[in-house]
């Protein structure tokens, strides 16, 4: 599998792939600039490519598994849309995560960390990151390219929009809607709906005048020339987190939910045409 990304989230994903699963990382693709000792070790052991070199390398290749690991949600979205016709995006689900059989995890670059809990009939959409110890209760909807930080709790019937960041230890009470692009601060207790592109914090959570912090200029340059248009491919349906997870990518077993993807045998690589942004 190829890891594409930068920063602390890439370190997190790389560490789990290397030391807590059977997934072999073939190469790391740099989109933000690596300058510390950790990435010097990666460069020696696995090699690091830049994105233009990687795109030339995969041109014409088939069934290359990849995962994009970056905390910049906009960059993640644009890269997936840019590369979706060339790569098969994998879900990474930690073996110690707890996922109900009735939970739905879209099979497209979703990360679920250790001790995270997905309760019955919740849904996590493409490109989202459910971090360590987060709890997604029953009937919760987590929109695409959203991040739920460690220890956050989303109570029943919460609806989270696209590109939302929910801080560590935050609690969102039942039935609350969090609008697209909103940010919920660390430890906030959200009792009312949060408008789009709003920052809230405190207990009870109140609107803050600040704005979301942009990532580095180098990372934004990666997405230049891309468009925010959706890809019109078929969406995989059912209760499947996909066979491309920590428990089964190497062994070819069913996903953590115990259900295989519709229309294919265990261990078979999913068709790129079944992925959608």
Catalytic residues: 138
Contact between 94 and 114 under an 8 Å Cβ cutoff? The reply is: yes
Whether the Cβ atoms of residue 155 and residue 178 lie closer than 8 Å to each other = no
Q: C-alpha distances in angstroms, 276 versus 2, 51, 272?
A: 19, 22, 9
């Amino acid at each position: 599998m190829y890891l594409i990304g930068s920063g602390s989230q890439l370190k997190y994903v790389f560490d789990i792939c290397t030391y807590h699963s059977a997934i072999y990382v073939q190469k790391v693709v740099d989109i933000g600039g690596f300058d510390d000792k950790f990435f010097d070790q990666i460069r020696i052991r696995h090699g690091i490519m830049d994105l233009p070199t990687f795109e030339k390398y995969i041109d014409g290749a088939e069934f290359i598994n990849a995962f994009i690991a970056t905390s910049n949600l906009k960059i993640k979205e644009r890269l997936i849309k840019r590369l979706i016709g060339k790569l098969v995006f994998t879900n990474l689900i930690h073996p110690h995560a707890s996922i109900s059989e009735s939970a739905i995890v879209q099979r497209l670059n979703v990360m679920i960390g250790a001790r995270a809990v997905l309760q019955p009939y919740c849904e996590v959409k493409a490109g989202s990151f459910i971090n360590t110890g987060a709890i997604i209760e029953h009937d919760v909807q987590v929109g695409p390219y959203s991040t739920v930080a460690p220890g956050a709790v989303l109570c029943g019937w919460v609806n989270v929009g696209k590109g939302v960041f929910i801080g560590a230890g935050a609690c969102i009470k039942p039935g609350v809607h969090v609008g697209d692009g909103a940010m919920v601060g660390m430890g906030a207790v959200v009792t009312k709906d949060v408008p789009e592109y709003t920052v809230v914090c405190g207990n009870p959570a109140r609107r803050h005048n600040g704005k979301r912090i942009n990532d580095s200029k180098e990372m934004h340059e990666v997405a230049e020339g891309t468009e925010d248009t959706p890809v019109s491919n078929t969406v995989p349906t059912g209760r499947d987190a996909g066979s491309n997870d920590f428990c089964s990518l190497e062994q070819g077993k069913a996903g953590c939910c115990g259900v295989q993807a519709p229309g294919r045998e265990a261990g078979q690589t999913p068709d790129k045409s079944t992925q959608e942004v």
